[in-house]
Structure 1
Amino acid sequence: MPRFVHAADIHLDSPLHGLAAYPDAPAAQLRNATREAFSRLVSRTIEEQADFLVIAGDLYDGGWRDHNTGLFFCSEMGRLRRAGIPVFVLFGNHDAESEMTRKLTLPDNVRCFSARRAETLRLDGLGVALHGQSFRDKATEDNLAARYPEPVPGMLNIGVLHTALEGHSAHARYAPCTLDELQARGYDYWALGHVHDYQRWDGPATVVFPGNLQGRHIRETGPRGAVLVHAQDGRIAVERLFVDVLRWESLAVDLTECTSMAEVAARVGAGFESLLAVDGGIPRAVRVTLEGSTPLHGELFGNAVQLRSEVLAQVATIGNERLWLEKVRLATREHARPDAGRGDALASLAQILAEAEGDAELLRQLGADLAPFVNKLPPELRTQVPLLDLVTGARLDALVREVAPDLLAHLARLE
């Protein structure tokens, strides 16, 4: 019975974001990560002796004009051609923007779904029927699945669809449909794309988002890749194939009861080691979030440079070839109540800050005072300090609400 690989959201040559501004950033890996992940996918497809490969949309990444991206794709398809493996490509919303989608002639083992109408592509020797429709336009908001062909009797029926499905508000609502609609269609397997996280639903049909091949920023954390699907005796088995070459991680470190910077550093280092204990051969780009109730809260808030240096020292100890720091985020809270034991000056400041959120004139003046400084900052620094977004977005009430507890804690420590 058929074995095939299902991948989606490859975004060839899409840049990775969040590390480029740092001097120890792995420049070559950032630049070539999506290509290397795709090469790994092709290698795994050959090694697994898959009967075919399905790509469910967003092979390319929007309006690229550099045909070297397309030439690289053709060379990888040539590897599959020499191995006798056909490829079925459905173009998604990002592909609809790409000149390569329209102009590049692909190897003859690659078959693309039409954008004019839903169609069925068959592999009669394997007893497989694949149904799909590519995007004609980026903003395709019609329910494409509603027009997909009826299942072919006696064959393994695979629906290939680029869709937001239901309940995925984090992704653009392209080709919307419901899970119930897909399950009622009569297919055996739905090869979906567009949502970048792995998800699977079982029922009359097995419905799968494989996720994207390579995480591109800190919002795409954890292992990434494709799936290997094995259909036998009416049952569908799905196995994840991880092919990412650099993995984004979010590490929460609990500093509860920490009383010294040395203790903080030790806990961060232990967190890094624990992270690398799984799939240790894959380099990590890590955002460290320090949390918990600690007497050090005020000191940490006032010493961001030293804190970052302490974390970087732990990274250097482990080795920059395995680990890179994306950002240090402080989310600790002070050990005691913020207003406990405050002097008159701090109590007055606390009252002013509490009232500031509702004082439109004060917030307007604060925005006017901060704007000249923020506008002089380099763009890369703005992306690294989320609080600056509150200034540029004129959300000064949120800025005051965010900063006030930490500022008071730091001043209380200095009293």
Structure 2
Amino acid sequence: MKFIHTADIHLDSPLCGLASYQNAPAQALRGASREAFTRLVDAAIDEAVDFMVIAGDLYDGNWRDYNTGHFFVREMGRLNQAGIPVYLLYGNHDAESEMTRRLTLPANVHLFDSRKAITHKIEALRVALHGRSFKEAATTENLALGYPAAVPGWLNIGVLHTALEGYAAHARYAPCSVQELQAKAYDYWALGHVHEYAVLSEAPWVVFPGNLQGRHIREAGPRGAVMVTASEAGIQSVERLIVDVLRWERLEVEVGGAADLPAVVSLAGQALEALLLAQTGAWPLAVRVTLVGRTPAHGALFGLEAQLREEVLAQAAALSGDRLWIEKLRIETTPALDAAQISARADAIADLQALLAEVPQDGDFMRSLTEDLQQLTAKAPLELIDALPEFKAIRAGDMAGIVAAVTPALLAQLAQAEQGQAGT
């Protein structure tokens, strides 16, 4: 017997902030959740699974129109024609309090009640599925405590949308512990809500399949569901079923050996090429590039995030056309010389470092500097303010942070210029 366990599909998730990303593959991103779900249904039919479990957050809150519901009904109709039942539980995003629109679902879709935990039985397979949907989005009670006892001699599956304990990145809905789930003596817990794949126990199995499709850089890496194989002896295997259609990746580029901006761009291009070669599929990649390392180029890179991103975008376009998109570029390099090494120089650059270290303690100077720079940023065009995070810090009055950020880059530039003059 085989079944698919999925959760956190978030059909037609709005992908907030997408418009602010230049050259973003907007259409591919907007349609990704639907295409991933279609791939999941294809896999269910191709593998002739016995049933599918959806453990919450099928939707992303109320629909803007009925198209989202029509799409889901069509996909459920495909499973219905293939004789595959679906057991659907609503989570915080599609709780009864969140949804004002409903459509009649095909007969193969079986819902879990929101008033109390209920059991759906598949007599032919001797499978009992226990679960309770959310009635309110902010459900903070321990729902697992009210789940029924296991059916003796059957394969028992608990379906629950929960943050469990210890997942600080996710709202603490329906909290419970792994020990409490184990105490129910079920064979498998099909969980939802946490978007990362995780197997928390194998006796019994307690599994988060992760979400079906990454929607932003915090959901990087492969995404999908799980395929579970079982027999009369219990759960035999739990395997990931990857169905995402667009993948988010974080790429750290070590630029310690780069002496200038062109060398940094070249290293970024090489790293992107290696990332492409490492892929086992042809899905589009949305990549956040972070430049790291102690480098002589640190001073030359300060404030050039926007220009560098354009350079790296050009590298990506040359490598694979539309397949690579640079979501963001971050500069987290450090100077080739640290503060102690500069102090040891005992020259004008060391004196400047000492002077800059005292600046944040000079209240009058900091107030004057803040006023002058805030007047400057008030006249700057919006695109420049968006391109330079330092401008936002100036507007917020965080001058100590600005001085701390500028100092290493300024000293690195001066040291590099001094070396250049000495060379000539």
Does the pair score TM above 0.5?
A: yes
Q: Equivalents in 1 of 2:57, 2:206: separation in Å?
A: 18
Farther-moved stretch of structure 1 (133-142 vs 372-381)? 372-381
| Structure-2 change in CA distance of 1:291 and 1:153 (3 Å) | same
The residue number in structure 1 matching 2:273 is: 273
SS in 2 for 1:129: strand
| Structure-2 change in CA distance of 1:372 and 1:295 (3 Å) | closer
1:205 Cα shift? 0.7
| 8 Å Cα contact 1:374/1:388 also seen in 2 | no
SS in 1 for 2:93: helix
1:299 Cα shift? 0.9
Q: Deviations over 1:125-166 (max 9, x none)?
A: 111111111111111000111111111111111111111111
The match for 1:366 among 367, 370, 384 is: 370
The residue number in structure 2 matching 1:309 is: 310
Q: Equivalents in 1 of 2:296, 2:164: separation in Å?
A: 47
| Structure-2 change in CA distance of 1:193 and 1:378 (3 Å) | farther
Residue correspondence of structure 1 range 44-193 to structure 2 within 5 A: 44-96=43-95, 100=99, 103-193=102-192
Q: Equivalents in 1 of 2:399, 2:193: separation in Å?
A: 35
SS in 2 for 1:164: coil
TM-score w.r.t. the length of structure 2 is 0.88
Does residue 318 in structure 1 map to residue 319 in structure 2? yes
| Structure-2 change in CA distance of 1:355 and 1:381 (3 Å) | closer
Over the matched positions of the two proteins, sequence identity in percent amounts to 53
Q: Equivalents in 2 of 1:130, 1:43: separation in Å?
A: 23
1:225 Cα shift? 0.6
Farther-moved stretch of structure 1 (221-230 vs 373-382)? 373-382
Amino acid at match of 1:247: R
TM-score w.r.t. the length of structure 1 is 0.90
Q: Deviations over 1:43-81 (max 9, x none)?
A: 111111111111111111123332211111111111111
| 8 Å Cα contact 2:210/2:225 also seen in 1 | yes
Give unpaired runs (5+ residues) of structure 1. none
| Structure-2 change in CA distance of 1:237 and 1:259 (3 Å) | same
The residue number in structure 2 matching 1:405 is: 408
Give unpaired runs (5+ residues) of structure 2. 419-424
| 8 Å Cα contact 1:4/1:230 also seen in 2 | yes
SS in 1 for 2:301: helix
Q: Equivalents in 1 of 2:385, 2:222: separation in Å?
A: 28
The residue number in structure 2 matching 1:263 is: 263
Farther-moved stretch of structure 1 (35-44 vs 294-303)? 294-303
The residue number in structure 1 matching 2:246 is: 246
| Structure-2 change in CA distance of 1:378 and 1:195 (3 Å) | farther
1:182 Cα shift? 1.1
Q: Equivalents in 1 of 2:365, 2:114: separation in Å?
A: 54
Farther-moved stretch of structure 1 (202-211 vs 220-229)? 202-211
Bigger Rg over Cα: 2
